[in-house]
Amino acid sequence: MNKICSLLLVLSVCCHTSAQETLVRADEVIKDFMSETPVPGLAVTVMQGDQIIWSQGYGYSDLENKVPVMPDQSLFRIGSISKPFTAAAMGRLHDQGKLDLDKDIREYVNYFPEKEYPVTVRQIAGHLGGIRHYFGAENFNTTQYKNVRHGLSIFKDDPLIAEPGTQYNYSSYGWNLLSAAVEEIAEQDFLSYMRDSVFAPLGMDHTHPDALDIILPGRGRYYIKSGDGFANAPYVNNSYKWAGGGFLSTSNDVAHFGRQHLQNEYLTASTFAEWTKPQQTRDGKSTSYGIGWRSETDERGYQWVGHSGGSVGGTTMLYCYPEQDLVVAMIVNLSGAQIGLLARKIAWTFLD
């Protein structure tokens, strides 16, 4: 018995030492990146199973006031990570039998103008619907839109840029249209539905629309590169694109979102499988994109599902590894930060 106890003690010490070494390596990966490619602030959270196994902040959420980044509190712009958030709302309605992916979008949003071809919900959600993305500097919009329907005025009268199903054309505006469908089906305004039926059930207490007229504790500042340093990002008003890229969140909340999807604690397993299944163009070419989720294999052969997010003053990555039950969420308060490989390196540190 004493030999067994001694063996268990040795194994426990070895596992603890190995875990500590992994955390040290992950920390070194981030610090090496920041020394070579400085960013104002960075938050990273890694989850395995239902546990946060690493959560760390680097730099500042507010450079002028030297506010340190805190992964459980610092609110950064997450850009297109808003799309899988909106996909969660769609999935909930689908699980309730209220949303049919293969219906014409106009069956749900009858005020959207008829186009030269019918366009299905599935096609729009997979960027196959022919709805355009930003023209020029439209992503620097400063207009306050009073509701989702008002925001559709930007693109609703434009022709489709391709016949639905024939080409993959990434479109945040398409997701704005999907949020209008969520409103009509749920009979509730989009932001309220997201709060009540997505964020609250998932325990995402630090996820909010990027509304400029409300006080949000933990809201960071947003930056762009300027020479060898940083400058404040230009003013934008994201009320035109809540569903496509208008939410604020923390790396902890984003990681919890991914983890609860992997565990099928929010959507049914069949719906999440459908949401993460890559769609195809009419000629059979995979788009690597399902319903608000990208699905690919990384350089080391690991299969992941997730999304990236780019916004004015923010860059975000969400990598979920289903087979290993690992989630990595990373947010930086800088436009155009090249953190995709960095986030994968963090994942590999834990996976390898």
Domains in the chain: boundaries: 46-351
| Pairing of the two strands 294-297 and 303-311 | antiparallel
The mean pLDDT of 178-193, rounded to a whole number, is: 98
Q: What is the pLDDT of residues 194-245, one digit of tens each?
A: 999 999 999 999 999 999 999 999 999 999 999 999 999 999 999 999 999 9
pLDDT at 6 over 50: no
Q: What are phi and psi of 296, to 5 degrees?
A: -145, 175
- CATH superfamily label, 46-351: DD-peptidase/beta-lactamase superfamily (3.40.710.10)
Which residues have C-beta within 8 Å of that of residue 333, sequence separation ≥ 6?
39, 40, 41, 61, 76, 77, 220, 221, 222, 223, 313, 314
pLDDT at 284 over 60: yes
pLDDT at 12 over 60: no
Q: What confidence tens digit (pLDDT) does each residue in 286-335 have?
A: 999 999 999 999 999 999 999 999 999 999 999 999 999 999 999 999 99
* 17 pLDDT more than 70: no
For residues 86 and 175, is the Cβ–Cβ distance under 8 A? yes
pLDDT band at 1 (very low <50, low <70, confident <90, very high): very low
Assess whether pLDDT exceeds 80 at residue 11.
Answer: no
Is 111:147 a contact under the CB 8 Å cutoff?
no
Q: If you average pLDDT over residues 146-163, what whole number do you get? A: 97
What confidence tier does 16 reach under pLDDT thresholds 50, 70, 90? Answer: low
The pTM of the full predicted model, rounded to 2 decimals, is 0.94
C-alpha dist (Å) from residue 288 to 24, 125, 224, 291: 33, 13, 30, 10
Q: Are 255 and 327 in contact (CB under 8 A)?
A: yes
User: What share of the chain has pLDDT > 70, as a percent?
Assistant: 95
pLDDT-derived band of residue 9, with 50, 70 and 90 as boundaries?
very low
